[in-house]
Amino acid sequence: MLRVGLTGGIGSGKSTVARRLAELGAVVVDADQLAREVVAPGSDGLAAVATRFGETVLAPDGSLDRAALGALVFADPDARRDLEGITHPLIARRTAELVAAAPEDAIVVHDVPLLVEKHYMPQYHLVVVVGAGEEVRLERLVQTRGMAEADARSRIAAQATDDERRAAADVWFDNDGSVDDLRTAVDALWRERLVPFEANVRDGIRARHPEDLVLVEPDPTWPVQAARLLDRIRLVLGDAAVTADHIGSTSVPGLVAKDVIDLQIGVHALSDVDNPAVLQALRDKGFPRGTGAHHDNSKDGTHWPKVFFGSSDPGRVTHLHVREVGSPGWRWALLFRDWMRAVPQAREEYAAQKRALAATGMTTSEYADAKEPWFDAVSARAEAWAAETGWEPHRG
């Protein structure tokens, strides 16, 4: 099963995306719909709301008077927290029931307006955000929903900013255009990413970078992408993840790289992750364990052990290296990254080495082997820099 979080600001077109995903076969769980369901006439939720806020929040027919309730809680944080304390557990319970009832091979789309505000992002395999310019959203709210302009602006201002949503988005749909354009983009996402992602998760398959070696110019969003992935991994591993870092070339600003995110989790002992329960939890989250030999940049002729995982997401190839905190391999990954970040000459030399190797036409696998002599040659320089600067690996 693949779990997708879907969100977007009011008037962005999120509902259009949800409807199209449902048409394509997704199981859509609508948080707004559930919020209405749990306070429907005769429900325990409505009874609890009436007990807390009084009969004035009930309409003559016994249903919830949403306007009256809104007037009570909108400007009163304590009242709003009390309301959420009643409704949120009920919504969460109903959501869990619907997800549990979905087929094993389902793509479950959780439509949550406040997904970013509540920081629900790590719960999902992928977060999809629908965005549109403020003036476009304002026009839609006034013309389509009949909202007063002042009310529409107030609703927009009360929600997360576009910058906050972009930081949360694995997929961003710009919806300043037509409905047909948006539906076309959704269809492509379904076909090219969601369907194969779900199959990979179900079968425990990691996405792989093509063997045709391609170096790309630095992407300023790589660190933000890494942060989202690390949040998901931390949610699975909990306290077992002593350290969590973005490493490798994509963690160094200005450095050309293969478009692969490398992550390192530091643990007290590899047995903390190398057991069936944790391995299954990581696989279910979309990080199956890799097989075969993997380069560990050993510099002293000894084995630097690790447990290797890869992401199942075909749209974001990711390598996850789990090493013991304080081990040589764990330390070297952090030292090399920080040396590259701090010393422009070293970074330029590495970039030149990368480009020279790529120009030979070698494969991605051959490229990994071919870089090892250069790493060996510069390790003493990196260590000298560490000694001169007093560098120590960060353990936060």
Query: What DSSP designation does 259 have?
Result: S
The overall longest dimension of the chain from CA atoms, in Å, is: 81
Distance CA 257, CA 247 (A): 12
Q: Is 306 annotated as a binding residue?
A: no
Residue 29 φ then ψ, to 5°? -110, 110
Cα–Cα distances in angstroms (integers) from residue 45 to residues 30, 37, 59, 112, 256, in the given order: 18, 9, 15, 20, 55
Cβ contact 171:274 at 8 Å: no
Q: Is 14 annotated as a binding residue?
A: yes
Token pair recorded at residue 248: 């490798």
Distance CA 269, CA 26 (A): 40
Sheet holding 27-30, edge to edge: 27-30, 107-111, 2-8, 126-131, 171-174
Cβ contact 321:262 at 8 Å: yes
Cβ contact 275:237 at 8 Å: no
Q: Per DSSP, what are the bridge partners of residue 100? A: none
Q: Is 133 annotated as a binding residue?
A: no
Q: Is 16 annotated as a binding residue?
A: yes
Q: Is 54 annotated as a binding residue?
A: no
Candidates 393, 111, 123; CA nearest to 231 is 123
Q: Is 285 annotated as a binding residue?
A: no
Q: Summarize the annotated binding site as residue ranges.
A: 11-16
Q: Summarize the annotated binding site for ATP as residue ranges.
A: 11-16
